[in-house]
Chain A
């Protein structure tokens, strides 16, 4: 279980990596989220943000204590299908915490330049570059301008 400061133990890290590979599997030439080296970033966010920290503790707790996991001798002993089933159990039983864990994993994964390259997103802050769009073209109003005013008059 993570420490109260949000630091992950070695066992947490092994379980988390395995779960993350199920959350976001490998694609093209990219490994799954668990094999991408995101744990430092996840740990940082869980240290900085209490809601992630609390949810991560509950999720990793559940990952150890889930009945199917216990029977098998641990999450790592399960095959992929069984891991998905165990994760779905946890998702159903602690849905808010699970959503927070998924959020922190998505934030870490989708902050990586190699992921940005695959999806066509420009890495870095949005400013100062922004994005270009063609200016407003008034001709698009041609139809709607033909409509008579239809707002409702109101009594004094």
Chain B
């Protein structure tokens, strides 16, 4: 039996980067919003950095991979046939609990890859459409950084100065200077000074597993408290299993299991899906109905296709001992270089990549990643511990229809909902891009004084960015949602996570995801009064 709840204007499925942003904006503008989140509230006081065995926790119950973590709210992901393993976090705040909060923006060229480079498709919106929403998001999340980056258009002053570069960051910056390559302090949604009641970062290091100081902006400590003050209801431990449609094909609400595992129906004037680039196609495909026989909003057949992750590679340098060990400071919010970002066909590939600098971690993490067992163990450990810095290559992977998310009827979650099956291969352009990036990373690390450089030609464990599986476009036959993220097939269904990306650019996607979510909410506020009772 399904228990019906009191009707609301908007149901948002998911409370992560995009869901929380939309929930906040809609609630602030007088909409009645219910945000359903399959995971629980997690207290920042319980994060691994507050525990002595944090290095054990981040590899197990706090792993990025849901199949390792196996928390109550997690669903299994079948990524056996994927060249990149899928990462996500299921809790109030979603994967912003886990992110590093490195927030570069897309470039104007990223929205016009077809026009400029003859590949993939142009977006139906451009950088300037999103710019005010990037700015609005920076105010809400709090951005540490500095303006004047020559690789990007001018932007509004950052809320806080950059995170300290540390001696290791300065060493890398000076190497880029000597090479004549671009670099810039990373824009970070991490407080370099107290901001809106949240503390400043105190440089503890492993920022990707929750910040107990709330210095890192996860949406459970930024958007959602404000949203709730404005009347939004956030229902944790609520797993949506179906978006319900009427005979006319419009959505009428969602079916979900509440925290007592009872089936409920939440009626709504509109549904916003914000379940990430894997969870969203899973949800849409699992919501097939008579008006939508191949899955909700799937008349184009593109739901679950064109999956993009970003292709990752990198190099790690082992440096002479410094006075300050390189484990002090946020793991990957230091500097970035976009020297090889824009297309230059003489490099042998189209599009480009960003270098994101990273630093050392704790003792066990150092040993596990980089120190062999045996008679040389201590010599190698002593040389590497606190002395390693990396350059990650974040490359643009172009959309390919054979990179997919489908339903795996052979693996189901605790409610019997099929797991997503992920298929993903690197194309030739991506391989050439990564090879170029690794070579250049080696050059930069050696210039910075590395005694030894170890390369990773392609990082398998790098599926943080989930994009492209319900793409945006003007043509209903070639896209799932329109420029306002409204489904072509149902005018009261919206999708606002990374699924709607037409292309992925060569940067971390979260600020762009959040800007799109705010823009969609803005469209609803301004143009869809029919969705408000």
| Chain A interface (Cβ < 8 Å from any Cβ of B) | 22-25, 27, 45, 48-49, 51, 84, 87, 102-103, 106-107, 109-111, 115-116, 119-121, 123-138, 140-141, 143-145, 147-156
Contact = CB atoms under 8 A, between A and B. Distances in A.
Interface string B140-178: 000000101011110000000111111000100110110
B329 A136 contact: no
A134 B164 contact: yes
Contacts, number: 174
Contacts of A149: 150-151, 153
A131 B377 CA distance: 27
A43 B379 CA distance: 28
| Interface of B (DSSP majority class) | loop
Interface of B: 49-56, 59-60, 68, 107-109, 111-112, 115-116, 126-127, 146, 148, 150-153, 161-166, 170, 173-174, 176-177, 182-185, 192, 201-206, 212-213, 324-325, 327-329, 341-343, 362-364, 367-368, 371, 373-375, 377-378, 381-382, 385-386
B52 A111 contact: yes
Contact of B161 (A51, A136, A148): A136
A102 B108 contact: no
B377 to A, nearest CB: 5
B111 A154 contact: yes
A12 to B, nearest CB: 19
B115 A25 contact: no
A142 to B, nearest CB: 9
A155 B164 contact: no
B53 A150 contact: no
A152 B108 contact: yes
A22 B50 CA distance: 32
A147 B182 contact: yes
Given A107-B56, A152-B108, A133 B166 contact: yes
A124 B488 CA distance: 54
Given A103-B368, A145-B148, A149-B150, A121 B164 contact: no
B190 to A, nearest CB: 12
B116 A152 contact: yes
B164 A135 contact: yes
Contacts of A23: 373-374, 377
Contacts of A107: 53, 55-56, 59, 364, 368
B115 A155 contact: yes
B182 A154 contact: no
Nearest to B201: A130
A150 to B, nearest CB: 6
Contacts of A25: 374-375, 377-378
Contacts of B385: 119, 121
A107 B107 CA distance: 42
Given A125-B54, A140-B165, A148-B150, A154 B108 contact: yes
Q: In this complex, which of B56, B127, B201 has the most chain A Cβ atoms within 10 angstroms of its Cβ?
A: B56
A114 to B, nearest CB: 12
A133 B173 contact: no
Contacts of B328: 131-133
B52 A124 contact: yes
Contacts of A116: 363
Given A129-B204, A135-B161, 11 more contacts: A23-B377, A107-B364, A109-B364, A111-B56, A119-B382, A125-B51, A127-B50, A132-B328, A140-B170, A149-B150, A151-B150
B165 A136 contact: yes
Contact of A152 (B59, B166, B342): B342
A141 B205 CA distance: 24
24 contacts: A22-B373, A23-B374, A24-B378, A106-B371, A107-B59, A111-B55, A126-B50, A126-B205, A127-B202, A127-B212, A129-B202, A132-B328, A133-B324, A136-B146, A136-B164, A136-B192, A140-B174, A148-B150, A150-B151, A152-B108, A152-B343, A154-B107, A154-B108, A155-B116
A145 B377 CA distance: 44
Nearest to B163: A136
A84 B374 contact: yes
A123 to B, nearest CB: 8
Contacts of B146: 136, 138, 141
Given A49-B60, A121-B363, A154-B111, A144 B182 contact: yes
Nearest to A32: B377
A153 B111 CA distance: 11
Contacts of B165: 136-137, 140
A144 B183 contact: yes
Nearest to B183: A144
Contacts of A119: 363, 381-382, 385
Contacts of B324: 133
Given A110-B55, A110-B367, A144-B150, A151 B166 contact: no
Contact of B148 (A48, A140, A141, A156): A141
B164 A151 contact: no
A110 B385 CA distance: 12
A27 B378 contact: yes
A60 B274 CA distance: 45
A151 B373 contact: no
Contacts of A147: 150, 182
Given A110-B363, A136-B185, A151-B153, A131 B148 contact: no
A97 to B, nearest CB: 14
Nearest to A149: B150
